[in-house]
Structures are given as C-alpha cells and as structure tokens.
Chain A
C-alpha cells in the first residue's frame, strides 16, 4: 500500500547542476502537486497537474519545470540548480479535495 512515493529521499547538488525529482502514486488520482517547504515560509505550491498531459503553474514556479506523461507519475525538474532552491520538496496527489503526501525529498544546493 505505497500511496505517494518520492525518489530520491536526499540529494546534494552543486550550483548549476540539473536533476529530476520523481513522484509516483498508485491511487489512480487525477490531480498531482509539487510543493516546497522552507523554514519560516510554510508549504508553497510550485506546479500542479489536473490530469495526464496537463501542467500548470503554482505560486513559485520559476526555476522549475514539470511533466505528467503518465497519470501515475509527476516529474519536477531543476535545469540549473541554485542555492535558493535548497528545500524539502513534497509531492501530493488527490482525487477530490483531500491531498495525500509523500515523505519528501531533501535537496541541498551547494
């Protein structure tokens, strides 16, 4: 009973490197979301998707790209990582209004 699985759990990058965070859900949910959580800032929505093949910008989309090629997967990409992107990233999915969260990816940019 996996729910929402995020890969990797931890990562350290150097400034300018690129990487992709993977989110997979096994609940057949239509909606998927990427958030970042920073001390003193709370959770902020980066991008979201309302179905396979769709994506939309959230509150803080700059510096990130996303793709939803398959219903169960939602990818978050950092093309050129910056220290300001050091954060904990959470993925969530929902079929209605209750969102189910993964355990997060802790990303440090040096």
Chain B
C-alpha cells in the first residue's frame, strides 16, 4: 500500500526566506505527483503536477522536483510572502488502472511571518 509522508508537519519562517517542503512515498511505481495548497476552511488548489518521466516543474516562485527512484519530492518556495501561509499537501497517483486515484500526505502547515 502506498504511503505518503510529509516532513515537517508545520513550519514557520520570516517573510522573504526561501524554503523547502518535503514529501516521500513508499512505492516508486507512480504515474505522477501533485502538490496542492489548502487554505483554512477551503478546498484544495492544485499547484504543480509532475509526471513520472519528469524531474521538475516550475510555476512562478514555486519549483517542484521529483526523484522517483528514491521516492522523494520537494516543493521549493522562493522569497516567501505572508500570502503563502497555508497547508501544502502532496499526493501521488499510482501507475496502471488506478492512475486517477490519489494518495495524499498529511500536509505541512506553513506560516510566513511578516
């Protein structure tokens, strides 16, 4: 059974700092990995999707990397802002018939202090 772990569970940084969020998964036979953002009382918003054949994806100040062989992904946030404060979740889709089903980590709660 695929398990997804996110460390740390919570992170507090001063505004302007660059930071890295970590995600690890136990089964390397993944189809893709996604990073989501969740604001309090809201649903999830997709940030980046990395296919298993890719090494990284970038969107603005966000960069996600994937090392499938080691079962790890990182989300890099450059020049953090208070508006980045949220919970960040990673999720993996397994290869094969279940490739639309996602297994989520428990998330990292990020606080960016002005």
Residues of A within 8 A of B (CB): 4, 31, 40-45, 48, 50, 58, 90, 92, 94, 97-104
Contact = CB atoms under 8 A, between A and B. Distances in A.
Contacts of A104: 41-43
B43 A43 contact: no
Main secondary structure of the interface of A (DSSP, over half): strand
A43 B89 contact: yes
B32 A97 contact: yes
Given A40-B106, A98-B34, A31 B43 contact: no
Interface residues of B, number: 22
B102 A99 contact: yes
Contacts of B45: 101
Interface of B: 4, 31-32, 34, 41-46, 49, 89, 91, 93, 99-102, 104-107
A16 B44 CA distance: 30
Contacts of A44: 104
Contact of B43 (A42, A94, A101): A101
Most chain B C-beta atoms within 10 Å of own C-beta, residue among A48, A98, A102:
A98
Most chain A C-beta atoms within 10 Å of own C-beta, residue among B4, B45, B89, B100:
B100
